[in-house]
Amino acid sequence: MAVPEIGAPAPDFTLSGVLLTDAGAERAEYSLSAQRGAPVVLAFYPGDDSAVCTKQLCSYTSDLDRFRDLGATVWGINLSDLDSHEHFARKRDLRFPLLADTDRSVVKAYGISMPGLGLKRSVFIVDADGIVRWKHVARIGLTFQDTDAIVAQLAALAPR
């Protein structure tokens, strides 16, 4: 499948995920359609605990208040299972949900699958109505979109 275009409906999905809280790690189902009414940042990353992914997700955790101030939720998504996600979240104190796309269905729906390699590092902003409003799909996943770039896009969506 092709990468969704700006202005197109975001492919809906439901995935299992883990969220680290002060009480422990909570596992739940996360549905994009259930997030209507607020923007969602979908951060697809290649691997738990790899160098660049760790830097990316730790930076988003450090800046969670900036996302929340704009009413946005952040979800990390990759092909790893929940046990891997929980270990990664606990090790790095990641405080947003990490979702497990173990069957690659969401990665394929978003057109970011890389046969033999997993997925392309990508960030999608889905607005309160479920529409893709911004995206960045990396050719090579050695760099990532920083919080400033994402927050600037989210701020542009905010009602004036």
The catalytic residue positions are: 53
For 84, phi then psi, to 5°, come to -65, -45
Q: How far apart are the first and last CA of the chain?
A: 35
For residue 16, give Cα distances in angstroms to 7, 95, 125, 152, 156.
Answer: 27, 16, 20, 29, 30
Q: Which residue has the tokens 């497990």?
A: 100
- Rg over alpha carbons for the chain, rounded to the nearest Å, is 14
Query: Residue 45: CA atoms inside 13 Å, Cβ hemisphere, count?
Result: 28
Mention every residue, 6+ apart, whose C-beta is less than 8 A from residue 148.
Answer: none
- Helix (H/G/I), strand (E/B), else coil: 9: strand
